[in-house]
Amino acid sequence: MIRNRTHILAALLAALAVLGVDAQSVQAQLDMVGTWTLEVESETGVTHPTLTLEQDGASLSGHYASATLGDADVTGTVRGNNVTVDFSAMLEGVGEAPLSYTGSVNAEGVWSGELVADFQGQIFPIGTFTATKQ
């Protein structure tokens, strides 16, 4: 019985060591700090807003600037290679609405996904985006 516990403990320690290495690799790949240039494609055309981010672990904060949606403070999260940035903006004909850039960062450091709006609890896609760090 002691022998089985020793084997189980050794297997758990090995698994934790592997997970620790993987977590460090993912963390290094997902340094979101800095200024990002986005290319957003929607029904109304293509826009190029900027997003300046600071990061504290899995939490993001920063500032968004767009000729279309204006300026806004943002918050967000990093989970694995998935990144979400949330803010509010005035939408023509709607008023102020919560918006989110939600996507993933690939091995080359390109973040891509969807821009969605929350209208009274219903999520609506506005467009797609690709972002690169300057």
Question: How far is it, in rounded angstroms, from Cα 77 to Cα 23?
Answer: 16
- Report, in angstroms and rounded to the nearest whole number, the Rg of the chain calculated over CA atoms: 19
Write out pLDDT tens, residues 28-65: 449 999 999 999 999 989 999 999 999 999 999 999 99
The hierarchical CATH code for the domain 31-133 is: 2.40.128.30
Q: Give residue-wise pLDDT tens across range 76-117.
A: 999 999 999 999 998 887 789 999 999 999 999 999 999 999
- Predicted pLDDT of residue 40: 98
CA distances to 26, 60, 61, 68, 118 from 30, in Å:
6, 12, 15, 28, 26
Q: Domain coordinates of the chain in residue numbers? A: 1-30, 31-133
Distance CA 131, CA 2 (A): 54
